[in-house]
Amino acid sequence: MAAGTKGVARAEREAQIVEVACRVFGEHGYAATSVADVAAAAGISKPLIYQYFGSKDGLYVAALRAAAAVLVGEIERTAALGAVGIDRAVVTLDGMFRVLADRPWLWRLVFDATAPREGEVAAVLAEHEQRLVVLGSDGVGDLLALVGNTDPDDLSALRAVWENTFRTLVGWWLDHPDVTPEAMSARCQRLFAVVLSGSVP
């Protein structure tokens, strides 16, 4: 490949690289992805990525910010709809299924267990996590308030359970690509109803 410019402006090239990086990082995970992999997938060379993003983590942060803007933004959007209880849960999940339908890799990118736990990446992850904690505590808090429970540790634990339930249901859906968002939302509604029906001894 010749060394010279291809006439692609920096902003445009950066956007293209970020999009490719979202996909590659999301599909294979941070640890298993090399900068050379992303460069190859984008049809460019490694040093260009370093010139534009500085480091592997810099690239990852850019991809993470782009993905989180979509996903956390969607969660905040549905939260603002004002549904409560089961309805709020189902509406939130339904919105997520629709957003992920044509770019499912964004999910694994944002919740990548192999991402570094320190440095700028960790800071960005913590920032998004904090937004989710606020939203989750809100919904779960209503539930605890109904029974007069004000223990902060109970709230913290139950919020964690809810977040992981959310993650698990989305993860299950991603593992079953034949299931439509509509069918999956219906399944969630059904399962919540079973659990919350109080039919357990």
Partner DNA sequence: CCGTGGTAACTTACTCCCGAGTCATATCCC
Partner DNA sequence: GGGATATGACTCGGGAGTAAGTTACCACGG
Residues that bind its own copies (CB under 8 A): 31, 84-87, 113-114, 143-144, 146-147, 149, 153-154, 156-158, 160-161, 163-165, 167-169, 171-172, 176, 179, 187, 190-191, 194-201
Per partner kind, with CB cut-offs from 5 to 8 A, the member of its own copies, DNA, none near residue 81 is none
- CA 35 from centroid of its chain's CA atoms: 21
Residue identified by tokens 């267990």 is 113
What does the alpha-carbon distance between residue 52 and residue 14 come to, in Å, rounded to a whole number?
7
Q: Which of 20, 21, 23, 33 binds DNA (CB under 7 A)?
A: 33
Q: Whole-number minimum distance, CB 118 to its own copies, in Å?
A: 11
Q: Residue 144 contacts by C-beta under 8 Å, 6 or more apart in sequence? A: 150, 151, 154, 155, 158
CB of residue 39 to DNA, shortest distance in Å: 7
Which amino acid, residue 58?
Answer: G
Q: Binding string to DNA for residues 45 to 84, with x set by CB under 7 A, is what?
A: xxxx-xx---xxx---------------------------
- Give, rounded to a whole angstrom, the gap between the first and last alpha carbons of the chain: 69
Axis-axis angle for helices 119-146, 85-100 (nearest 10): 150
At its nearest, how many Å lie between its own copies and the CB of residue 19?
25
- Spell 26-45 as b/e; 16+ CB within 10 A means b: bebebeebebebbbeebebe
Task: Considering only the stretches 4-12, 81-89, 163-171, 175-183, report the one whose residues sit in contact with DNA under the rule CB under 7 A.
Answer: 4-12
The residues that touch DNA, with contacts defined as CB under 7 A, are: 1-10, 13, 33-36, 43-48, 50-51, 55-57
